[in-house]
Structure 1
Amino acid sequence: MKKTNFALYLNKYFTGYLPNNCGSTPQTIDSYRYSFILFLTYMQDEHRISADKVDVSDLTRNNVVDYLNWLQVTRSNGISTRNQRQAALNSFIRFLMYEFPEHLDEYQKILGIPVKKAPQKEISYLKTDGVALLIEQVDLSRQNGLRDYLILSLLYTTGIRVSELIKIRIKDLSLQEPFTLLVHGKGQKSRYVPLMRNTIPFIHKYLVQKRYDKPEKLGEWLFKNHMNEPFTRQGINYIVGKYTKMARRIAPDMISADFSPHKMRHTTAMGLVESGVDLIYIRDLLGHVSVKTTEMYARADAMHKRLAIEAASKEIVPSEEAIWDNDSNLKDWLKSFNRR
Structure 2
Amino acid sequence: MKEYINQFLLYEKNLKKATSNTLLSFQRDLIKMADFFEIQGIVDVKKVNDTQMNAYMLYLEKNNFATATISRFVSSIKSFFSYLMKERIIDSEPTYMMKAPKVIKKAPDILSVEKIDKLLSQPDISKPKGIRDKAMLELLYATGIRVSELVNLKISSINLQMGFLTCNDNEKERIIPFGNHAKQAILQYIKNARLYFVKDTNNDIFFTNCSGSLMSRQGFWKIIKGYGIKAGIEEEITPHTLRHSFAAHLVQNGADLRSVQEMLGHSDISTTTQIYAKLASGKIREVYSNSHPRG
TM-score (norm. length: structure 2)? 0.82
| 8 Å Cα contact 2:154-2:206 kept in structure 1 | yes
- Residue 270 of structure 1 corresponds to 248
* Residue of structure 2 in register with 1:258 after alignment: 236
Residue 83 of structure 1 deviates from its aligned partner by 1.8
Which of 30, 35, 51 aligns to 1:36? It is 30
Q: List aligned pairs for 1:91-240, cutoff 5 A.
A: 91-100=79-88, 103=91, 106-107=92-93, 110-111=95-96, 113-177=98-162, 179-185=163-169, 187-210=170-193, 220-240=204-224
Instruction: Tell me the CA shift for residue 34 of structure 1.
Output: 2.8
Q: How does 1:273-292 map to 2 (within 5 A)?
A: 273-292=251-270
The structural deviation recorded for 1:221 is 1.3
Structure 1 residues 272 and 113: alpha-carbon distance in aligned structure 2, compared to 1, 3 A threshold: same
Contact kept? 1:160, 1:286, Cα under 8 Å: yes
Aligned to 1:338: none
Shift of 1:265: 1.0
| Residue among 41, 44, 51 paired with 1:49 | 41
Following the alignment from structure 2 to structure 1, what is the Cα–Cα distance between the partners of residues 194 and 138? 21
Please state how far the C-alpha of 1:299 moved relative to its aligned partner.
Answer: 4.4
Choose the corresponding residue for 1:13, options 8, 12, 16: 8
Q: Is the 8 A contact 1:18 1:29 kept in 2?
A: yes
Which has the larger Rg? 1
Q: How far off is 1:112 after superposition?
A: 6.3
How far has the Cα of 1:22 moved from its partner? 2.4
CA distance in 2, matches of 1:8, 1:121: 37
Q: CA RMSD in A?
A: 2.8
User: What amino acid maps onto 1:286 in structure 2?
Assistant: L
Preserved CA contact (<8 Å) 2:132 2:194: no
Compared CA separation, residues 62 and 273, structure 1 to 2 (3 A): farther
The count of aligned residue pairs is 279
Question: Which residue in 2 is equivalent to 1:308?
Answer: none
CA distance in 2 between counterparts of 1:245 and 1:27 reads: 28
Question: 1:337 matched to which residue of 2?
Answer: none
Whole-angstrom distance in 1 between the partners of 2:121 and 2:57: 45
For structure 2, which runs of at least 5 residues remain unmatched after alignment?
A: 284-295
**Offset of residue 87 of structure 1:** 1.9
Pairwise CA distance, 1:50: 3.6
- Structure 1 unpaired stretches of 5+: 1-5, 249-254, 306-340
Q: Corresponding residue for 1:81?
A: 69
Following the alignment from structure 2 to structure 1, what is the Cα–Cα distance between the partners of residues 184 and 266? 29
User: Using a 3 Å threshold, how does the CA distance of structure 1 residues 65 and 301 change in structure 2: closer, same or farther?
Assistant: farther
Deviation for aligned residue 1:260:
1.5
Give the Cα separation in 2 of the matches to 1:25 and 1:302. 29
Name the TM-score, length of structure 1 as normaliser.
0.72
The whole-number CA distance in structure 2 between the counterparts of 1:40 and 1:274 is 45
Counterpart contact for 2:261–2:272, Cα < 8 Å: yes
- Measured in 2, the distance between the counterparts of 1:66 and 1:299 equals 40
| Cα distance in 1, alignment partners of residues 69 and 152 from structure 2 | 25
Q: Which amino acid is the alignment partner of residue 12 of structure 1?
A: Q
Deviations along 1:224-258, one digit per CA (max 9) or x if unpaired, are 1211112111221122122212210xxxxxx2252
Matched residues in 2 for 1:228 and 1:63: separation?
A: 46
Q: What is the CA–CA distance in structure 1 between the aligned matches of 2:181 and 2:8, rounded to whole Å?
A: 48
Change beyond 3 A, Cα 1:69–1:94: same
Identity %: 27
Q: Which residue of 1 aligns with 2:287?
A: none
